[in-house]
Structure formats: C-alpha cells, structure tokens
Amino acid sequence: MSHFSAPPPADVQVSFRTVTHRIDPHMLDVDALKTLRRLRKFGHEAYLVGGCVRDILMGHQPTDFDIVTSAKPAEIRSAFRNSRIIGRRFRLAHLHFANGKIIEVATFRRSPCETDDLSGRHAAENLFGTAAEDAIRRDFTINALMYDAEKNCIFDWSSGMSDVSARCLRTIGHPERRIPEDPARILRAVKFAVRLDLRFDPPLAEAMQRHADKLLLCSPARLIEELFKILRSGHAVECLYMLQEIGALRHLLPALDDFISAQSHSDNAWRALARADEQNVAGDTLSDAVLLAALLYPACRDVLHTARDVSRELESVLRPLVHPLPFTRHHMASVRQMFLALRRLSAGPAAKRARKMLERDFAADAIDLLALVATEKEELRALSAWRALQKKYPQSHPKERPTPTKAALRQNPRRRRKPMTAPVA
C-alpha cells in the first residue's frame, strides 16, 4: 500500500497508517458499493476517496461518491456498460445510473519523474501509479483519505485523520509550492473551511494571502466552476466575506469587492444570497443563473428600481461587475432577462398574459429570483400568485422550435455534394 515508484517531493511527509473504521452502510451509496465490488471482482483495487470520506468523518451526509481504482480508463469502460470516458486533460470514467446520478471513477495517478516521456499533450496528468502516489498528489490532507468498504478501514498517507480530528485544513506538501501550483485551491480552501468549520493551518493562510494575485492565472472555466460550487455550498455569504478578507475577491471580482467594502456586514444587502444559502442547505435546487443573479442583485438593485431606461443602465452595470471572469453568454443573458422581468413579476400576474409569461424560457428562474429578493407585502402577494399559477399550469414550458415540415424542407433543400466518380481512362 505504501509503494512509490519514485521518491515523494522533499516537502511531503509520508506517514502511512491503516485506521480500522466501519462506516454505517446507510451513509454510503448503494450504487457506489456495487461499483467497488465489481471492480474488485475484476481484480482491481478500488476505494472511496475524497469528499465522501471526509464528510462522513466530519458528521455530514455526502452528496457525491467518488471512487479511485487501479483499473485503467479502458478497463473501467469494458467492465461497465453504463460508463463514459470523459476529459481531455484528465481521463476518467463517469458511471451513469437512474435519475441522473453519476459516480466518478478515476485511475490512480502519480507525479511525473525524470524518466517519463512528457512530449504528448496532457501526458503529465495521465501517468498511472499506485494508491500511495495518488494520495500525495491531492490538495489537502483531509481529501486524501481512502476507504476500503470490504475491510472497513481507512488508508491515510498524510496524517489526514489527525487533521480531521483537529478540524485543521492543511496542504499535502508546503503551501508555498502547492498554492502557486494551482491557485484555484484558494477558493476550495475557503469553501471547505466555511462549510466544515475548519481552521487554516497558519502556513496555508499566509500562502493564500500571498498568492491571491495568481488566481487569474488559472483557467477561467475552472474559476467559474469553483465559484458556482461556492454559491451552491449553502455558505456563499460567509465565503464571500472570507474571500474578501484574504484579498482574493479583489482579484476575482474587483467591482464586487468594492461594493462589499462599501456595505456593512449587518445590513440586508445579501438577503437574496442568504435565502439562496438556506434553500441549498434544505436541498432545494436553484439554477446557476439564479445563483449568479442572487450574487449580483445587491449591486444592481438601485438600477432596477430607479433607472428610467433599465435595460441600458443595467448593461452598463453588469459588464464591469463580472469582469474579468468570462461568464457564458447564456448565463449573462439569463441574468439580464431575470432582472428585467422582476418589475413585471412584482406587480403580479395579469389575467390574460400570465400563462404566456410562464411559457417564457426564463420565467421559472425569474420567479425563483423573485422568491429570493421579495420583501414588500405586494411582492410577496405577487410571488404567491405566481406560485399558484405554476401549480395550475405545470405543463407550461418554453416553446420549442417546431420540427420543420416536409414542405418546408422541400422549399429549402440542403445542398448535397455530388458523388465522386472514377475518372474516365
């Protein structure tokens, strides 16, 4: 279990131990356990890893169950008919189950050494190794624990069990190397610390502040993904203030950082985001667009309620507010449509146009946003009326583009290439 093909980095202290610990099967996912058994049946090592093990040890019910195994991606693919190999940079398998559930299965990885051929694209991310080598590549000690469901024990290579007991967040290796290596770990560290009530290891806290300016060196898609995870964590307001405190928000969303600096922690500016947190904790799903709108609403509220030309002035506020993060056009268009619809929704449903409004593609999200921002009695009455109409017309949905008829296809035929013929001799 402690095999290394090359010496670990000098700043990584490896202290392998096996801890006997039986996790209540009711806290584990049935399909994840079936996946583990099938991988072992084919002769592979397979363990639960990361967030699911960490959350259970800290008294939380996990929502995702990730598996790590000695099986290569192609071997996983051949063992499971419901699997799909995904990822260009990091090849792994997604197993698809009923109701949209996905279990992620990754192969043990290792860090590159001098003898490796790294000429291929993403070669360094797809070097397969052992369980020990995979564990020390992970970001934080509490995320590197692996659970053997067959033997009821936890494998710990980096004192992760001690950090779980001490509720301490610490990097595997020195943070002065690990944070610049992937600055997005700053966002992950803040999310874990707030959600799990952890304290930062002092060197980690110092490294996060020192290297916060490197956040924009990360892939924009990765930063946006981590930001949405924070918005969905159920502790978005606390995370925002912590990101501001360590200086990360100043680089991530400077205009929002300026807005927060001008607010008081005790005012109600973040009521919408706090309500979104309550819904996320309760398990009520909100779309990414609604969460983004809840984040941006306080800085746009004055424009929405006082501007004469709301559309034009809203555009002048939204663009700098999200800079430099390149949110997708779909996200920004949805936020814009929801904001513009709020005034009409707040007035309540009009008898003749209410159902037509419900058929708009942004209507459901806009009503969800109204539920987050409504404070006045009139707004609450309007919200109640819209919710009643949603129940009355549950089949209302955005109008889909009609399938073209045969006559329409004949009027606009696709140009087809003529078949190639052999040249005449």
Catalytic residue numbers read: 64, 66, 139
Between CA 170 and CA 204 the distance in angstroms is: 7
User: H or E stretch including 33?
Assistant: helix 30-41
Nearest to 36 by CA among 152, 124, 186: 152
Q: What are phi and psi of 104, to 5 degrees?
A: -90, 130
Which residue is it, tokens 């008081």?
A: 264
Q: What are phi and psi of 6, to 5 degrees?
A: -145, 155
Which residue is it, tokens 């190999």?
A: 85
Rg (CA), the chain: 26
Buried-exposed string 77-102: b where 16+ CB fall within 10 A, e elsewhere: eebbeebeeeeeeebbbbbeeeeeee
What separation in angstroms does the CA of 246 have from each of 187, 214, 217?
Answer: 11, 13, 18
Q: Are 303 and 342 in contact (CB under 8 A)?
A: no
Q: Are 62 and 81 in contact (CB under 8 A)?
A: no
User: H or E stretch including 154?
Assistant: strand 153-156
Between CA 113 and CA 115 the distance in angstroms is: 6
DSSP classification of residue 157? S
Between CA 86 and CA 104 the distance in angstroms is: 10
Q: Give the distance, in angstroms, between the CA of residue 68 and the centroid of all CA atoms in the same chain.
A: 19
Which residue is it, tokens 């502040």?
A: 209
